[in-house]
Amino acid sequence: MTTSAPQAGQPGEQELARAALTYLAEPGDPALGALLAFCEPAEVLAAIRAGMLPGIGPGCGDSPASRKALARALECWRVRLPGLPGDSGLAAAHRNAIRLVCPADPEWPAGLDELGRARPYALWLRGHGDLRAAGLRSVAMVGSRAATGYGAHVAGEIAADLAEQGWTIVSGGAYGIDAAAHRGALAAEGVTIAILACGVDHPYPAGHADLFADITARGLVISEWPPGRHPARLRFLVRNRVIAALARGTVIVEAGERSGALNTARHAAHLGRPLMAVPGPVTSAQSAGCHRIIRDWGATLVTRAADVIEMLSPVGAADPPTAPAPPGPRPADQAPSRDELDPDCARVLDALPARGGARTSTIAVEAGVDLDAVLRCLGLLAGCGFIERCDQGWRLRRP
């Protein structure tokens, strides 16, 4: 076992600390969220190691009760210190093609910051896509594990149509609607993101190993939990807030009255993101939750991809920015400019003809990029609004 720094760039002190914190605390821990609002991650990690509470601020250690809760949390985190891998596990993760994305990184999706103190400490990623770019035009599609044939069919169809039009699908990794949504997006050669409640090195359920491999090849498998962590019932619920916060809006396809998908729906509603539901037969228990949130929560009834896109595209905002980005930091919800694309994407974009369309294989030859990478780049470029599908394959999108 080596403890040398990972080859993919030098992780900074704060990045290493954040990686360590994902090992020590459960995601969404309000005590750690409160501490991170006032202290640098490295400072918090040092405090945990030392067993001494760090500085205080409003709502964080500024009352005896709050201070007592923090001290108790500190003890819990310290319990996991002996299991903390060297180098915060980054070297081993890197060997498994897993990388870490932290709030300060350019790839960090701005939408997650709306979770406030419940924001993930960091995310572990597997796959080649740019998380921020993929999330810019993304839809969460979740639902019942015990989906009916109807539900799985509709989820697949809508996800495929959305992916065709350059939208990224965001979902969990469960059987039923989650899997149908990913498969629909993959069938349309789109980008899809699976957000797990366990380490991305052993995605759960194991029966979806092939699906996770396909998602990794064309999109991203991500998690707040570090590699090696197992799933647990509560973790799925904690994970749901990330699904809702990463996507621009959430679609519930099938959900029983007590489905976990309604938990994701509640997060979307609390975040003020568009909440949508697909109706079904009133005789189907798997549609009862969808009907309830349309009736009682004001979720919008959607029947097809166009309905979803309409909900997520404010009037006049459907067209992507085409002028080069202004100098300085990129605004939170703006697609990367042409200059900011990764080398593969830039070559693929350059390979598209000025007029008319080109087939994927032609583009690959022209760009000199292998077909897998071309597929990934095309999805991302479509997601960022640079290109769109056409009869001939792909073409540049006009302003």
Site string for its own copies, 39-78 (x = CB under 8 A): ----------------------------------------
Q: Which is nearer to its own copies, 68 or 295 (CB)?
A: 295
Closest CB to its own copies among 92 and 278?
278
223 near its own copies, rule: CB under 8 A: no
**If binding is defined by CB under 8 A, does position 154 make contact with its own copies?**
yes
Instruction: Give the residue with the Cβ less far from its own copies, 79 or 282.
Output: 282
The pair of three-digit structure tokens given for residue 80, joined into one six-digit string: 């996991």
- Looking up tokens 């760039």 gives 9
Question: Which residue from 54, 143, 190, 280 is in contact with its own copies, where contact means CB under 8 A?
Answer: 280
The 281-310 contact track toward its own copies, x by CB under 8 A, reads: xxx---xx--x--xx----xxxxx--x---
Tell me whether residue 96 or residue 303 sits nearer to its own copies (CB atom): 303
| Using rule CB under 8 A, residue 119 touches its own copies | no
Q: What order of strands is seen across the sheet that includes strand 249-252?
A: 98-101, 123-127, 220-223, 192-196, 168-171, 138-142, 249-252, 275-277, 300-301
* Site of tokens 């601020």: 57
How many degrees, rounded to 5, is the angle at CA 120 between CA 129 and CA 375?
A: 10
Question: Of these, 38, 150, 175, 297, which contacts its own copies (CB under 8 A)?
Answer: 150
Q: How far is the CB of 135 from its own copies (least distance, A)?
A: 26
**CA gap 243, 97 in Å, rounded:** 22
Indicate the residue among 76 and 301 with the shorter CB distance to its own copies.
301
Q: Which helix (H) or strand (E) holds 77?
A: helix 64-79
Complex with its own copies: residue 155 or 375, whichever CB lies closer: 155
Binding residues for its own copies, how many (CB under 8 A)?
A: 20
Among 6, 205, 228, 279, binds its own copies (CB under 8 A): 279
Cα gap 8→106, rounded to integer Å: 15
- Closer CB to its own copies, residue 48 or residue 154? 154
Query: Residue 85 in contact with residue 92, Cβ under 8 Å?
Result: yes
- Cα–Cα distance list, 50 to 46, 81, 291 (Å): 6, 11, 52
266 binds its own copies (CB under 8 A): no
DSSP state of 5: P
- H helical segments located in the chain: 13-24, 30-36, 41-50, 64-79, 90-95, 131-136, 149-164, 177-187, 209-218, 233-246, 261-270, 288-296, 305-312, 343-351, 360-367, 371-383
The single-letter DSSP state of residue 83 is: G
3-state SS assignment for residue 390: strand
Q: Prior bond to 27 cis, omega within 30?
A: no
CA angle, residues 327, 332, 335, in degrees to nearest 5: 70
Name the residue nearer to its own copies (CB basis): 159 or 294.
294
- Shortest Cβ 284–its own copies spacing (Å): 9
User: Could you say whether residue 91 binds its own copies (CB under 8 A)?
Assistant: no
- Determine, following the binding rule CB under 8 A, whether residue 323 of this chain makes contact with its own copies: no
Closest separation in Å from C-beta 277 to its own copies: 10
315 touching its own copies, by CB under 8 A: no
Stretch that binds its own copies, among 25-33, 276-284, 350-358, 374-382 (CB under 8 A): 276-284
Q: What φ, ψ does residue 245 adopt, rounded to 5°? A: -80, -30
Nearer Cβ to its own copies (291/376): 291
- Residue 369 has a CB neighbour count (10 Å cut-off) of 20
Interface with its own copies by CB under 8 A: which range of 128-136, 187-195, 277-285, 338-346? 277-285
Stretch that binds its own copies, among 60-68, 150-158, 266-274, 382-390 (CB under 8 A): 150-158
Phi, psi angle pair for 294, to nearest 5°: -65, -45
Provide the token pair at 4.
Answer: 């040398």
**Interaction site with its own copies (CB under 8 A):** 150, 153-154, 278-283, 287-288, 291, 294-295, 300-304, 307
